[in-house]
Amino acid sequence: MTNQLHTRYCPECSHVGDVSEGHRDCCPDGSSAFMVPAKYAQELRAGFKALLATSPEQAAQWDTARQAVRDYHYALDTRQHGGSAAWKALGTIQEALDMRWVQGAEVSRRAIDAASTAQAAMEAAA
């Protein structure tokens, strides 16, 4: 294979090809890029972009959450009751993210996570 069949790819930022003139690298540390077959470079870049992409549902959730925070800030700016405004914003965000409070659920989830972490640490030490 000749070098023409390979191109530079950076998995940190998904840059394909040479860097801009006057720059040493595409990323600050400059140690992540490597040469890949040119035919795979664009596929790698597309995969990287897909990982960062936000689905329409996620975008709507973020928009709702941002609006709830803006409404909370507006309530504070207009001297409305801060506690009530915060409660309303939290309720809106929980609804948007489908994360309603279920008593005891988070305590259980964290206990299971802690037990799993402890088990993994014991297995790694053995």
- What is the length of the chain? 126
Residue 105 has pLDDT above 70, yes or no: yes
Residue 33 has pLDDT above 90, yes or no: no
Reference 95, options 70, 75, 68, 73; nearest CA is 68
Residue-level pLDDT at 101:
93
CB atoms within 10 A of CB 15: 20
* Rounded percentage of the chain residues whose pLDDT exceeds 90: 50
How much is the pTM?
Answer: 0.54
Reported as half-sphere exposure (CB side, CA atoms, 13 A), residue 25 has a value of 14
Tens digit of each residue's pLDDT (9 = 90 or more) over 60-83 = 998 999 999 999 999 999 999 999
